[in-house]
Structure 1
């Protein structure tokens, strides 16, 4: 009982700290990204300046503050939970916080979700190191931190618990149930206290049964696109890994990012600003040549720019890029169906389902994607089609390529 009491107390503390950190990072990123994107939209020269500046500052911080250690994302968590000796050091908290903020605010085409996850995991790991009684429960306390961070970021406690289970722990114990439920409860209470709003304010009222086959097709397409995203990240990271000078990586990476932003400003940062614009105008979209070219350009370039951002030193992962690609894919498909097949489907529904399908396929976690997207829009009308499509997209992705960005291990030459 004493052990469980101590675990309960530390879980509450982890929940509060992770929620506070996640909300702070989200609000700071939104604030500075909006300001800097507006500046760049008014003067194109900033599209050239911001990426190289952001990546250079990140490299400077890594060299002089963060022990010259590169951030490996969620793989760092797997290394820690899979070893008795490896720990997530305390400097990983500010490292991922500031590097994630700088990457997205200055135009890096990724999101803060993975930065939040690893920083939250580090909070749990540091707490585990403080008491001998916690040494056997490293994974559970790390998962408690992750679940709290995801809860605060997406306003979805169920998504927080499911992500910790589906992606990190993959098993449920009494300790896991205790620590994650307490940390998530505290995190959710904290965001309710702050009156945090859902990221996307949309009105979903209904969906039609005749659209179900189209939803399933969207799931297959999302699975294929997720494999393109995963392979892009793996391939481009391996190529950048062969470049010895970090200054060369920064120059090449920022040049590619800048040129892409000049062509498609929608690729700036997380891209949530572009998704919100699409949500508000989805019903009035007209299928023109320029619209198709823009949508196709986004679907083709986003995985490449995300990969380049991460490979050249940016901090982040595939959460936000997956949702971004899914929204554009869903809108493009709905527009094609309505124009050429008189399908009379609802574009907004396809965007939301596309976001969930891409996320599910990219991280192989359908239930996390389901509750996370429903939490993002604060609406469960599309629960059943999202569930079906998430399972289809994950299965498609696994059949085409069994790895995610997080589970892939490069082959070592013996």
Structure 2
């Protein structure tokens, strides 16, 4: 009774709000709310993760840490899987940015509420126990869920819910990195590919507030470095680095698909946990830098401790040998790609946002430090580390502006703006020339679920669902009946096509009204013939799971206006016509036109 009274009161307040405050102005207010909550969520996630990691690592003698490295990642992934299976009770917990994009494209920007807290809990456990992935995708997902459900709670429309979803994602990234500009640009580049100027305002508000709240509660910066002016003489080497990073991002994108296929062959989730956990533990035993996000190693390199990656490893005795440091860094780089993908596919929760930064930083370090050993040139190693981070993010995510401003903000490296611009753009172009879609959008593009503005017709069609354009008000004829038996129904039907369906619901054929009228008027024999003998084969048949792009291709190929729809067992469901598709198309165009007004 109390819950009903609260709900009724909230409904009254919301009704008053809709009368007094326009959605446009109310959106600004909610952007403040989403920004504050998103900042709190980011601070909570960072605090939980670092608390778990420090608790497990502090006050433990180093000689025993190798043993802990072998089992901690396994425990973290196992706890995450148990949480999902036992506490979410059948609900799905997806990870990464791809499900957020899918929600915008195909689910009217609706995200399940449990993602607000489930993303935080599972990712903190995964990374805190040593899972080799990042926290940025989970906090972006959590922020998106905050924005989506805030909009739904107040009864907003698709365009406002989508904007609040993007505000939540921007707040999450901003709070995680203390980088409001990068958070806003991330939302625009990844989630809102087509936007108008007013879209900046809610995003700016949410990102700025999230950064302030997160900094107040968890003030430790992600990276700190005193960047120096870049030298024009090093420009050629920045271009070389960009090429290397770009090629590596292509390799990583392809490896992502390969590892995903490996794990898809394992049906038991706990078998995935054992395989990924044990493999990850062994990799961390050999390469301690793979533990957790990996930001600590990058920070040590930025501080000038170039042998940090080898310290505390099995090869620590060789840390003064430059070629060992370089070789070990390169091997760690490739191990990081496997470690992060094993963590994610094995059941842990995280993202490749953070690993992208780490891998790019390692490439930049190995390249600059290696070039310095030749004696031909002396490059500023920290500058190349930052450039590599930006380039990797730009190539892997297909988000050059996000990579550019993120690194500039979190490192204070605005003095490196020109090299960062070159490296991000070249890396992005190399990846885009070889791979049309990023790791976030590839799966959606293959399934026809990607919202893209390069081909608006196909995009709008991909937003349609066949069940919404399915027409069922047709007169159904039985195979044993004759035109004479159904004369009245045929004459009074408002449709010019008749499906012939047997007792099991199977579609046997169709008949057009022109032929049936011709038979009934005596112009053609067959008034007493069964419909089974008169049935005509349709030009084509639409399966209920086919997307609308395929439907329109079949119609255009045979130049037909209407086609029957059946399920996977060939049972008749109805018809789909170009008229219904065009009507829905216009409605979606209107909605898309108001997408970001």
The answer to whether TM tops 0.5 is yes
Match of 1:182 in 2: 205
Query: How does 1:12-411 map onto structure 2 within 5 Å?
Result: 12-38=32-58, 39=60, 41-43=62-64, 44-68=66-90, 69-85=92-108, 87-173=110-196, 176-191=199-214, 193-194=216-217, 196-282=219-305, 288-409=322-443
User: Aligned-pair distance for 1:231?
Assistant: 1.7
User: Aligned-pair distance for 1:176?
Assistant: 2.4
User: Aligned-pair distance for 1:286?
Assistant: 5.9
In the aligned structure 2, how far is the partner of 1:300 from the partner of 1:164?
A: 29
- Check the 8 A contact 1:224/1:400 in 2, yes or no: no
In the aligned structure 2, how far is the partner of 1:168 from the partner of 1:104?
A: 25
In the aligned structure 2, how far is the partner of 1:364 from the partner of 1:95?
A: 27
In the aligned structure 2, how far is the partner of 1:115 from the partner of 1:311?
A: 15
Structure 1 stretch 359-368 or stretch 395-404: which is displaced more? 395-404
In the aligned structure 2, how far is the partner of 1:175 from the partner of 1:208?
A: 39
Change (3 A) 1:40 1:183: farther
- Check the 8 A contact 1:118/1:146 in 2, yes or no: yes
- Check the 8 A contact 2:344/2:351 in 1, yes or no: yes
Structure 1 stretch 128-137 or stretch 365-374: which is displaced more? 128-137
Which ranges in structure 1 are unaligned for 5 or more consecutive residues? Answer: none
Change (3 A) 1:17 1:396: same
- Check the 8 A contact 1:140/1:175 in 2, yes or no: no
User: Aligned-pair distance for 1:195?
Assistant: 7.4
Change (3 A) 1:287 1:211: farther
Structure number with the higher helix fraction is: 1
In the aligned structure 2, how far is the partner of 1:370 from the partner of 1:158?
A: 10
- Check the 8 A contact 2:246/2:428 in 1, yes or no: yes
In the aligned structure 2, how far is the partner of 1:40 from the partner of 1:214?
A: 42
Change (3 A) 1:103 1:92: same
Structure 1 stretch 93-102 or stretch 31-40: which is displaced more? 31-40
- Check the 8 A contact 2:166/2:203 in 1, yes or no: yes
Structure number with the higher strand fraction is: 2
User: Aligned-pair distance for 1:36?
Assistant: 2.6
Q: Aligned residues, how many?
A: 414
Structure 1 stretch 303-312 or stretch 273-282: which is displaced more? 273-282
Which ranges in structure 2 are unaligned for 5 or more consecutive residues? Answer: 1-20, 308-318, 448-544, 547-597
In the aligned structure 1, how far is the partner of 2:109 from the partner of 2:87?
A: 21
User: Aligned-pair distance for 1:40?
Assistant: 8.6
User: Aligned-pair distance for 1:46?
Assistant: 0.9
Q: Deviations over 1:105-144 (max 9, x none)?
A: 1111101010101000000110111122344322111001
In the aligned structure 1, how far is the partner of 2:176 from the partner of 2:219?
A: 9
Match of 2:563 in 1: none
TM score, norm. by length of structure 2: 0.66
- Check the 8 A contact 1:202/1:279 in 2, yes or no: yes
Larger Rg: 2
Match of 2:498 in 1: none
Structure 1 stretch 22-31 or stretch 350-359: which is displaced more? 22-31
- Check the 8 A contact 2:43/2:218 in 1, yes or no: no
Structure 1 stretch 152-161 or stretch 13-22: which is displaced more? 152-161
In the aligned structure 2, how far is the partner of 1:182 from the partner of 1:86?
A: 20
